[in-house]
Amino acid sequence: MPIIMLAAAAVAIAPPAWLYPQNMAAESPASHAPISVPGSRVTVDAAILHDRAQTVNWFPADQPAPPARVLKAKAGEFACGYCHMVNGVGHPQNISIAGLNADYVIAQFAAFRSGQRKAAQPGYIPNNSMTRVAGQVSEAEVAELANYYSKLRYRSLIRVREAAMVPRVRAAGLVWERVPGPPEPISGRIVELMDRPEDSLRHNPRGRSTAYVPPGSIARGRRIAAELGCMACHAQMLGGWGPGRSPSYIVRQLLAFRNRARTDPGAETMQPIADQLSLDDMVAVAAWMGAGTKASR
């Protein structure tokens, strides 16, 4: 594995392939079938699910009326809800943004635009897409969107489970998907899967997922978090950031701080913290945070 020496003392960690599923050839083909999601009264032509410029408001009563950009963008551009959902809960390949502090949201747009917020894995499509989105919206739109998403209630639809053996998976689009066959050893990975794979393409804001983590990682993560004082800052900060946050997203971000792919002024606080964590430590601390135990509140 290539190791890059950085100006700071810490050595970059090679991003593991399991953290960045990417296989656009395996995306489901478009159809014109009428489709819905469980519990919704809305039915649409399935073809629109492939249009990144719009997203379906499956549950209009679940949140206040969103700014236009959440549901619709110009042809070829991205609607926010297409990835983060109308209620901001996100899915494993992006992230929950509901309840995030509005100033933090605005700062992240600036970081994506200036190239100071990249993924540790070069060419990772979700990060590249978010960077493109940041270039498509005006300051006024960002302020309006930050205000909208910051007022939504943070909640998690992710369940964390320790498991020695996990389902076999393949990359489909930008997520992992179960494939037939006997379970296989987890081998230090986090395997995050939508409980119903169709919820991914349907952008279902009530879609639940399960994050499998290595046995013992939650307790180990609790010890690491106590030593490094994660909650001294995170219990109070960033709003919307807490138990149930996607463990694979957390590891992607810790690696981005560690490998100096996240370098905006706000990131400077996190870099020396990430420098003290091995990849296994990152997995453990992310498992603990995602598990949403009382201890992490």
> Rule CB under 6 A: which residues touch ligand HEC?
69, 78, 80, 82-84, 94-95, 97, 100, 105, 107-108, 117, 119, 126-127, 129-130, 133, 137, 145, 225, 228-230, 232-234, 241, 250, 252-254, 262, 264, 266-267, 269-270, 273, 285
69, 145 in Cβ contact below 8 A? Answer: yes
Identity of the residue, 44 or 270, whose beta carbon is nearer to ligand HEC in the bound complex: 270
Q: How far is residue 97 from each of residues 44, 107, 151, 220, 274, measured CA to CA in Å?
A: 26, 13, 10, 27, 22
Give every CB contact of residue 109 below 8 A, 6+ residues apart in sequence: 134, 137, 142
Distance of closest approach, residue 185 Cβ to ligand HEC, in angstroms:
25
Q: What is the DSSP letter of 261?
A: S
How many angstroms from the chain centroid is the CA of residue 217? 20
289, 296 in Cβ contact below 8 A? Answer: yes
Identity of the residue, 47 or 68, whose beta carbon is nearer to ligand HEC in the bound complex: 68
Identity of the residue, 31 or 278, whose beta carbon is nearer to ligand HEC in the bound complex: 278
Question: Mapping DSSP to helix (H, G, I), strand (E, B) and coil, where does residue 247 land?
Answer: helix
Distance of closest approach, residue 103 Cβ to ligand HEC, in angstroms:
10
The number of residues in the chain equals 297
User: Rounded to an integer, what distance in angstroms lies between the CA atom of residue 155 and that of residue 212?
Assistant: 19
Identity of the residue, 6 or 165, whose beta carbon is nearer to ligand HEC in the bound complex: 6
Identity of the residue, 44 or 233, whose beta carbon is nearer to ligand HEC in the bound complex: 233
Count Cβ atoms below 10 Å from residue 297 Cβ, excluding itself: 9
Query: Which single residue is written with the structure tokens 């159809």?
Result: 31
The pair of structure tokens assigned to 108 is 């992240």
Distance of closest approach, residue 170 Cβ to ligand HEC, in angstroms:
20
Distance of closest approach, residue 133 Cβ to ligand HEC, in angstroms:
4
* 191 phi/psi in degrees, rounded to 5: -115, 105
Distance of closest approach, residue 268 Cβ to ligand HEC, in angstroms:
8
Identity of the residue, 73 or 169, whose beta carbon is nearer to ligand HEC in the bound complex: 73
Distance of closest approach, residue 62 Cβ to ligand HEC, in angstroms:
18
The CB-nearest residue to ligand HEC is 266
Distance of closest approach, residue 229 Cβ to ligand HEC, in angstroms:
5
Distance of closest approach, residue 123 Cβ to ligand HEC, in angstroms:
13
Residue 33 Ramachandran class (φ > 0 left, ψ -120 to 50 alpha, else beta)? beta
Count Cβ atoms below 10 Å from residue 170 Cβ, excluding itself: 11
SS3 content of the chain, % helix, strand, coil (to 5): 40, 15, 45
111, 88 in Cβ contact below 8 A? Answer: no
Identity of the residue, 30 or 168, whose beta carbon is nearer to ligand HEC in the bound complex: 30
Identity of the residue, 126 or 243, whose beta carbon is nearer to ligand HEC in the bound complex: 126
